[in-house]
Every structure is written in C-alpha cells, then in structure tokens.
Amino acid sequence: MRKHDDDADISDVYDPADDDAAQAVFDQADQYADIEDIDDDAPDGEAPRGRAGSQCRALGMRRPSAGAVVPYSKPSHLPAVIPKLGDLEAFIQAANAAPILSAQQEHDLAVRLRDKGDLNAAQQLILSHLRLVVSVARGYLGYGLPYADLIQEGNIGLMKAIKHFDPDRGVRLMTFSIHWIRSEIQEYVVRNWRLVKLATTKNQRKLFFNLRQMKDSDKTLTPEQTRSIAETLDVKPEEVREMEARMSGGDTSIDGRSGDDQDGGAMAPIDWLSRENDEPEVILEEKNRESMAREQLKKAIASLDARSQRVIRARWLNEDPSGNVAPKTLQELAVELGVSAERVRQIEKKALARMREELAASRDDIE
C-alpha cells in the first residue's frame, strides 16, 4: 500500500478494492464490444471510447494494465446532501444560509418581477428574506401554536409583500414586508388560538396582542391598571375588562360533560343552557298578546270615520298581490278622495292620534 503523494490525507490512501471496481467497469465495456464501436487502439493512459469509455471518463479512471497499481482519485464534486422533507430545523438552516441581497440586487430583481413578471426574480427575493420570516414567527411562539404553521403563514405574508412591493419608493423590501408578515401571522393566531374567535375589531386585536404583556401578574386587573392600559392603547376601560375575561376563560364544548349533578349523573351545558323566549309558556303568552293587540287595533280603526279609515288602511295596511306592504302615496289618495295631498296628510295625522288614545286606554288589558 502506498500513498498518491506525500501530502495526501488519509482519505486519499489507495485501496486495492478500487482496482476491482475499475476492472468491473471495463469488463462491462467488453460486454458491449459486439454492439458498440469501442476503440481499443486508444493511446495509453486514455479510457476507451464508447458507452463504457464514457463511464470510465466520468469516474476519472484509466484501464489498468497487468500488474499496475492505480491510486484512488477523490472526485472533485460531491452530491448535495438533501435534508429530510418536513424537517423544520433543515428549513431554518436553509433560510439562514440563503444569501443576503444588496440594495442594488434587490432593486434589480424587484424591477424584473414588476416589469417582466420574472418568477425567478421573485424566488430569489423570497429565499433571501426567509430568515426574516423565521425571526418574526419566533416572537409568536408564546401562543402555543406550531412553529412550522407560524412560519408558513409568515411566508404567505412575505409573498404578498413582494407582490405589492414598489422598488422605486426607495424602501428596502425587509422594511416593507415585515408588516405583511406580522399581519398574516397575527390573523392566524387570532383564528386558531381558541375555537371561538376572540378578536374581531381593531381595538380587540390591539388588546389581544398587548394585554398579557402589559399585565404585571396573572391576577385580575385593578381599576387603576385597567384605566392605565386603556389610556396606553387608546381603548375604553370596558373593552379592557371584556378582553381580560375572554382570554382568562377556556373553551367548553356545549355537548361535553362539565360536571356532576346532585344525582351523580354527568351533565353537559346543553342540558341546562336555555333561552327564556323558547320556553313553551313564554311562546304561548306571546301568541296571546299578539292576538289581543290585533283585536285592539281593529277596534281603534273602527272608531274612526270612513275617510280616516280609508287613509289609514291605504297608508299602513295596504299589501300588494305578493303579500308585501305597499303603502299608497299621498298624491294617489288625494286623487282618489278628491282633496289635496296636504289635506290627506292632515287626515292621517289626526287619525293616528285618535288611535293612540284608544290603544293607550286598552294597554292594561293587553299586558
């Protein structure tokens, strides 16, 4: 055993097994001798021509001569190590290893994307800013959501930012895109932190992302702390107390078991939650009240003279063939009754006042 040269490291030491591998390639070339035109008259030190010869040249080997010892030659290009798919750490390492663009490179790529729709330019912009997404997403880990999902939402925000980025504004893409990245991540956190969305308005979102940081402890806020937080965030104290109650509570399934009753049987919220208006006695009482109100209304209209009744029915109780309310205009009634529109308005006003008096007298009977 001998080394290739004096300075070769241990990986360059000749191994007799390499001769066997080389010989196997040339033996394969002999199998194609009847099919391909292999030039056996090639000069010494050169690989034979043909399919096997191409394999020999690709491997950097020479046909061994009888009794010759061929040293091992380490290939100059090794295949890239492809990380396992779905490996978050590999993604983060790749994001941090992506090259950082200079201001001019970033501007040129953004112009190519805007003017020519160059997707390769968009890809380079995205890859160079993935480390920013990873950094922003790390700040939202305290909400208990998967890191990979936060990064994924941030990537969506980055792509939206690149789509709307104007390179002629004189602003770097990092400064512009960080707001889009945060917006997408915050929307994802609000949607998924609880089963029921906690923040829907602007003030509620502001409280959701700042209230926990501004509280001194896990205890309930005092009135002074509530007022201080409300002034700092420019919201109402009532909104601060409401958001605190929402965030301190948990999700409860309406069909799930929440406790035991006196008999020892498990009960779910659906067993004891109800709406008063859905109670049978309440529904029956409401129907009776509506029936009595209709009777009193008929009596009030009957107390009017014929012309006043016509005006009230045409203005308030008239219906089209489809059953929808279709009041007649003052002008239409004026033509029908042979008076002016102003006179019709006066008749209507006087009739309504008379009906209110009649209904007020019978209110106690209805209630």
* Residues 139, 175 within the same domain: yes
In a domain, 206, yes or no: yes
In a domain, 282, yes or no: no
Cβ atoms within 10 Å of 297's Cβ, excluding its own: 15
Counting the structural domains of the chain, the total is 4
In a domain, 106, yes or no: yes
Name the domain boundary from 23, 58, 78: 78
Distance CA 1, CA 13 (A): 8
In a domain, 256, yes or no: no
Tens of pLDDT, residue by residue, the chain (367 residues) = 444 444 444 334 444 444 454 455 445 444 444 444 444 444 444 444 444 444 444 444 445 444 555 554 544 444 444 445 468 888 999 999 999 999 999 999 999 999 999 999 999 999 999 999 999 999 999 888 999 999 999 999 999 999 999 999 989 999 999 999 999 999 999 888 877 777 778 888 888 888 877 877 777 788 888 888 888 888 888 888 888 887 777 666 777 665 544 455 566 776 766 677 777 888 888 888 888 888 898 999 999 999 999 999 999 988 888 888 889 999 999 999 999 999 999 999 999 999 998 888 877 665 6
Distance CA 102, CA 35 (A): 56
* Residues 243, 320 within the same domain: no
In a domain, 271, yes or no: no
* Residues 73, 93 within the same domain: no
pTM of the prediction? 0.47
* Residues 179, 227 within the same domain: no
CATH number for the domain harbouring residue 127: 1.20.120.1810
Q: Is the distance from CB of 226 to CB of 235 less than 8 angstroms?
A: no
Name the domain boundary from 78, 99, 123: 78
* Residues 157, 124 within the same domain: yes
In a domain, 312, yes or no: yes
* Residues 116, 178 within the same domain: yes
Name the domain boundary from 19, 52, 78: 78
Q: Is the distance from CB of 179 to CB of 185 less than 8 angstroms?
A: no
Q: How many CA atoms lie within 13 A of 145 on its CB side?
A: 22
In a domain, 297, yes or no: yes
Q: What is the domain range of residue 101?
A: 88-192
In a domain, 92, yes or no: yes
CATH number for the domain harbouring residue 307: 1.10.10.10
Strands 259-260, 266-267: pairing kind: antiparallel
